[in-house]
Chains A and B, each alone.
Chain A
Amino acid sequence: QKEVEQNSGPLSVPEGAIASLNCTYSDRGSQSFFWYRQYSGKSPELIMSIYSNGDKEDGRFTAQLNKASQYVSLLIRDSQPSDSATYLCAVSRDNYGQNFVFGPGTRLSVLP
């Protein structure tokens, strides 16, 4: 079992819809969780971080964390074609977040 799993996609949603991206992790001791967006040929850029159970909202983005189920998700409301990218889930394995593990990423395509 991989440490961090994501559906590889592609996930296709129409413009204006809600895109839901999911991530599961195997290490129950994981402390913090990150969502990155990566455009083709570019470097990853941070969208959100979360380390407490529940929801965290930032603009059109909402991260959800359920440590009991070892599950973290990212919702993108009012999806735009510019949101088309690969979304990487990252999990920190220690208290100070020095050692990160990334999932394989989910490719999102927002259709105009």
Chain B
Amino acid sequence: NAGVTQTPKFQVLKTGQSMTLQCAQDMNHNSMYWYRQDPGMGLRLIYYSASEGTTDKGEVPNGYNVSRLNKREFSLRLESAAPSQTSVYFCASRADRGLDQPQHFGDGTRLSIL
């Protein structure tokens, strides 16, 4: 009964370091998303993937890359971390392209960049 699983839960990086945030869902959902959440700004979409093999930019894609490895997994990579990327990152998945289908969120990754 895992739903959407994100790893790691916490991470501290130095400026310029790289890292990959992992996300996996076991609900056989087609669509997956990466968001960042900063205080007072709600959730901002970084990238999304409508199906295996496709990815599209969201509102704030600069400084990030993504990979839809297979239907279950969608990873987010920071190639050269910057302090402005300090945030809470949420992965979400969604079943079909129905108007009322909800997104299911993981527990989040809290990332600090010094």
Given contacts A88-B42, A97-B94, A101-B59, contact A34 B102 (CB under 8 A): yes
Which one of B21-29, B63-71, B73-81, B103-111 contacts A? B103-111
Within residues 82 to 113 of chain B, which ones have a CB less than 8 A from any CB in chain A? Answer: 90, 94, 97-103, 105-108
Q: Does A46 contact B (CB under 8 A)?
A: yes
Tally of B interface residues using CB under 8 Å = 27
Q: Are A98 and B48 in contact (CB under 8 A)?
A: yes
Size of the chain A interface, CB-CB below 8 angstroms: 26
Inter-chain CA distance A103–B59, complex, in Å, is: 13
Given the known inter-chain contacts A97-B94, A98-B31, please indicate yes or no for A51 contacting B43, CB distance below 8 A: no
The yes or no answer to B13 lying at the interface (CB within 8 A) is no
Q: Is A31 an interface residue (CB 8 A)?
A: yes
A81: interface (CB < 8 Å): no
Closest chain A CB from B98 CB (angstroms) = 7
C-alpha gap A90/B42 in the complex (Å):
10
B20 shortest CB reach to chain A, Å: 20
Asked if A97 and B97 make an inter-chain contact with CB atoms under 8 angstroms apart, the answer reads yes
Q: Does A70 count as interface, using CB distance less than 8 angstroms?
A: no
CA distance A50 to B99 in the complex (A): 8
Q: Kindly state whether residue A49 has any CB partner on chain B within 8 Å.
A: yes
Please, how many angstroms separate the alpha-carbon atoms of A43 and B44 in the complex?
A: 14
Q: Do the beta carbons of A102 and B44 come within 8 Å of each other? A: yes
Query: Are A101 and B41 in contact, CB atoms less than 8 angstroms apart?
Result: no
Pair B50/A98 contact, Cβ less than 8 Å: yes
- CB <8 Å contact, A49 and B97: no
15 pairs, A vs B, C-beta closer than 8 Å? A8-B40, A34-B103, A43-B107, A43-B108, A44-B90, A44-B103, A46-B102, A49-B101, A98-B31, A99-B48, A99-B56, A100-B103, A101-B45, A102-B45, A104-B41
Q: Which residues of B contact A (CB under 8 A)?
A: 31, 33, 35, 40-45, 48, 50, 56, 58-59, 90, 94, 97-103, 105-108
Interface residues of A (CB under 8 A from B): 4, 8, 31-32, 34, 42-46, 49-51, 88, 90, 92, 96-105
